[in-house]
Chain A
Amino acid sequence: MIISEQKSQTELLVQLTEKEHIFLIGCAACATACKVGGEEEVFQMQEWLQSLGKEVTGSVVIDEACHIMRAGRDLRHHKVAVAAADALLVLACGAGIQSISACSEKRVVGGLNSLFLGNIRRLGQFEEKCSLCGECILNETAGICPVTICAKGLLNGPCGGVEDGKCETDRELDCAWHLIYERLKVQGRSGVFARTVEPKNWGKKFKPGRHENKK
């Protein structure tokens, strides 16, 4: 899921300067799981805005804010409250925020910083495992991604910064290549070590990404 965090109140106050009538939007998917944009956080945001003397014209928690058509439909269900607002404050990831700006010309204020595509270790603890690079090497690397977990994204083994199986950038972090090496050893195969990996095709990561399912 998309891991995100709430922006600071200081930053939000700047964005909401002279915006007195606010419609609040949350997301029932990732932002809810991250506890930054679900029903509860939308309610807390409403209370905070009201304590500042601002009016909350209404609110909605969209099932998946990244679904552009669904977001548009949900906003239309709150047509009057949306029309009364001079800003839409969105507690969703950057994708969710842009579903809203795709279907409303109102001033959209994003309330979150989107961090990464993350796995959940336990409640409130997230880890990045995949960079969505478009050219997956996991089948050769024992299911451990060097593009993401190696701080330098190296493809042909560790740098000189590995020490006791840890990364030079943070002694708490495992060296991805050490993990890959140990796991392949357990599996009794050489995997990615059997070849020199060619330079990565970043053309696959063309921005902005587009994809359509093939029939």
Chain B
Amino acid sequence: MSTFRQKIEQGTFVITAEVAPPKGVDVTAALATVRSLAGIDAVNVTDNQGANMRMSPLALASLLLREGVEPILQLTCRDRNRMALQSDLLGAAALGVTNLLLISGDHPGFGDHPQARAVFDLDSVQLLQTVGRLNSGEDLSGAKLTGVPQFFTGAAMTPEAEPFELIFQKYRKKVEAGAQFFQTQAVYDLTRMEHFMAAARPLGRPVLLGVLLLRSAGMARFLNAHIPGVRVGAALIERLAAAQNPLDEGVAIAREQVAYARDHCQGVHLMTLGHEDRIPAILR
């Protein structure tokens, strides 16, 4: 059993970060980033994030294990049909990669291969169910597996998306489909996070609050304009704009979010986008 899983199941506060596989075959920079992470329990390995083609996250996740870093393999429904997904999942289990984050995935229209055919043979709820089937020793067709994987399965949630009732019914479906933990999209309005947590708590799944480090007021405005479900309030933008060193202010904001999570969630998922050196300051 993975230590990440043990910690979550024991109710320990966990910290995750993320790394993107390279565009190419040289993993030096990705591994250097991962090695530099201190105090992190597991690292998400993104899957063609933003619909931009990169190295297989399964390959990088496997390399992380060799480094002694526990990966959380992200798998999207965008690029693989149910056969390829199950096939990759069995491969992941054989390589010792058992923590998963299962998501729909950004539409190919956003990325660097906009002419690609989007797959979405399964949706994220169905992919969660699929992993449950594999964990029970059979595939989606009901055929028995030789050796049974023991995946620890996470799902995503956007707490600030509206209408809340519509978004939350999917959260409920993900819980019923077997999600064992959740990592959220970045949340900056902690009142709204509390609104979500009040609804989520009775369902009993550990929630890791998404903390996206803000570099500047410009970045905050960009998120508001372009990233669905992410809302940086005017007061935070004002703080960033007024700060002598906006990145320091972003770290301070992230620290407040982590403080909230320590009291109300079971962990944080840090998205520091190249500023991994600031993680110790965020966690201090």
Contacts and interface: CB of A to CB of B under 8 A. Distances in A.
B77 to A, nearest CB: 8
B163 interface: yes
B173 interface: yes
Contact of A160 (B82, B109, B156): B156
B170 A158 contact: yes
A126 interface: no
Given A160-B158, A196-B129, A152 B120 contact: yes
Given A152-B120, A159-B104, A162-B161, A198 B126 contact: yes
A153 interface: yes
Given A162-B228, A196-B129, A199-B126, A157 B170 contact: yes
Nearest to B184: A160
Interface of A is mostly: loop
Contacts of A157: 125, 166-167, 169-170, 173
Interface in A95-142: none
A32 B125 CA distance: 43
A200 B120 CA distance: 10
Given A161-B228, A162-B161, A152 B126 contact: no
Interface in A31-71: none
Contacts of A169: 107, 109-110
Contacts of B121: 199-200, 202
Contacts of A161: 106-107, 228-229
Contacts of B126: 155-156, 196-199
B30 interface: no
Interface size class of B (residues with CB under 8 A): 35 or more
A156 B125 contact: yes
B236 interface: no
A197 B163 CA distance: 21
Interface string A157-192: 111111110001100000001100100000000000
Interface string B105-122: 011011000000010111
Contacts of B130: 199
Given A155-B123, A156-B125, A178 B170 contact: no
Given A162-B229, A198-B126, A199-B121, 13 more contacts: A151-B118, A154-B104, A156-B125, A156-B170, A160-B103, A160-B161, A169-B109, A181-B166, A196-B125, A196-B129, A199-B126, A199-B129, A199-B130
11 contacts: A155-B123, A156-B173, A157-B169, A160-B161, A162-B167, A168-B110, A177-B166, A181-B163, A196-B125, A199-B129, A202-B121
Interface of B: 77-78, 82, 103-104, 106-107, 109-110, 118, 120-126, 129-130, 140, 156-158, 161-163, 165-167, 169-170, 173, 176-177, 185, 228-229
